[in-house]
Amino acid sequence: MSLDKPYTDVPGTTIFDADMSRMGYHLNQFCMSLMKAENRARFKANERAYLDEWPMSEEQKQAVLDRDLNRCIALGGNIYFLAKIGATDGKSFQQMAGSMTGMTEDQYREMMIKGGRSPEGNRYTGEKK
Amino acid sequence: MAKISASVFTSHVPAIGAALDLGKTGEDYWKPVFAGYDFAKQWEKEQKPDVVFLVFNDHATAFSLDMIPTFAIGTAAEYQPADEGWGPRPVPKVIGHPKLAAHIAQSVIQDDFDLTIVNKMDVDHGLTVPLSLIFGQVDAWPCPVIPFAVNVVQYPVPSGRRCFMLGKAIRKAIESYDEPLNVQIWGTGGMSHQLQGPRAGLINREWDNAFLDKLINDPDGLSKVPHIDYVREAGSEGIELVMWLIARGAMSDVNETKKGNAPTVRHRFYHVPASNTAVGHLILENN
């Protein structure tokens, strides 16, 4: 029997559930390793070599190298773990979140100051805006 | 006997901690956020709690994907502020209350809530930002804190109903403790926010304020709201709000034994934005 997942029709949103967590285990644990200063230094010195120490898929490694957070999430990454890559790069949480929306940093910041993204038209996939 | 005198609810946005630590509180962007906590700081000086039971979530800091406890109670003597990748926040270490925490663990587990017991844990912004907001920038936190971590990172997270019922069990545990302690229970996280994907930046002012109304007046009804409503209406990370129901469930008006009257709303505050997030804050006193 398939499990109840009522959250697959929320647009632009991936819910990090047990299945995603299973897929993303090594990707997320790689991110976790960046909480140590010496690992951050080793990663920065040679990203590819550092990633090759982890049993991640090639797609996951490429998504990290590209800093494509949407792709990382599709491959099982979770934002709280991926944030460690952002911290290593010196990025704020707002810069990271904004990078996934297709907006520029200034546009995203401006949207937040004006009250954020409206839920109108953003509740269901295919909903009319 | 120990008594829960009040519950405090607040968001725990990391950027608020950074603004405090980097001296940005006077900037136009941050002024209205911190103004919302002036009352709490004054009120807390008069309340002088002996212990704070602090419900929060770890953000992939103490708990990686190696272990994902749904409910974890800290029974340690002390906790260090964690390095979340930007270096640890320059705030005092957190002193625990192992004796009361162990008492609560024993009582709550016997009440069918299977807690994980944690004797070693660094605490991240989820715990230290609320302490800074309510106690201010101090050299030492004014009282011991019992950290209570809830998994809201990996789905399924505990339901609002489960959290509300757990709050009741925590109240029973605290109020059966023999020392006459003044205990506060804090619920943290939220309000609406989404940090991931093309929908990042979602804020729902109307839903957030309805949540605050129901938290005050109809917490039992609110506890029955399913996860999907939080996700759709308040963003994927808005789900943190289930933690507020733990603190609300520990108030006397919703419990059968030593039942009290509806709590007094001492303070209510709402502001958008702090970084990606809507900030909500509420103080309820038991009657």
pLDDT in tens, A67-99: 999 999 999 999 999 999 999 999 988 999 999
- Which of B153, B200, B231 has the CB atom closest to A78's CB atom? B153
Helix (H, G, I), strand (E, B) or coil at B216: helix
Residue B106's pLDDT is 98
Chain A residues near residue B196 by CB distance under 8 angstroms: 13-14, 69, 73, 79, 97, 100
Residue A126's pLDDT is 87
Q: Report, as ranges of residue numbers, the positions in chain B whose pLDDT lies below 70.
A: none
Measured between alpha carbons, how far is B80 from B147 in angstroms, rounded to an integer?
A: 12
Q: Is A74 on the interface with B (CB under 8 A)?
A: no
CA distance B201 to chain A (A): 5
CA A31 to chain centre: 11
pLDDT digits (tens, 9 = 90+) for B81-130: 998 877 899 999 999 999 999 999 999 999 999 999 999 999 999 999 99
The contacts of residue B54 (CB under 8 Å, 6+ apart) are B127, B130, B131, B145, B146, B147, B148, B185, B186, B188
Structure tokens at B35: 């103004």
Catalytic residue ranges of B: 125, 193
- Interface with A, mutate which of B12, B70, B199, B240 (most A CBs under 10 A): B199
* Residue in B75, B73, B78 with CA at minimum distance from that of residue B108: B73
CA distance B111 to chain A (A): 27
Q: Measured between alpha carbons, how far apart are the two ends of chain B, in Å?
A: 17
Helix pair angle (B160-174, B98-110), 10° resolution: 120
Q: With CB atoms and an 8 Å threshold, state whether B201 touches A117.
A: yes
- pLDDT band for position A129 (cuts 50, 70, 90): low
pLDDT digits (tens, 9 = 90+) for A92-101: 889 999 999 9
- Which of A80, A93, A117 has the CB atom closest to B275's CB atom? A93
- 């954020």: which residue's tokens? A116
ipTM of the complex: 0.95
Average pLDDT across chain B, whole number: 97
pLDDT at A128 over 70: no
Q: Judge contact between B16 and B133, C-beta under 8 A.
A: yes
Core vs surface per residue B140-179: b (16+ CB within 10 A) or e: ebbbbbbbbbbbbbbbebbbbbbbbbbbbbbbbbbbebee
Residue A127's pLDDT is 85
- Which of B29, B153, B202 has the CB atom closest to A16's CB atom? B153
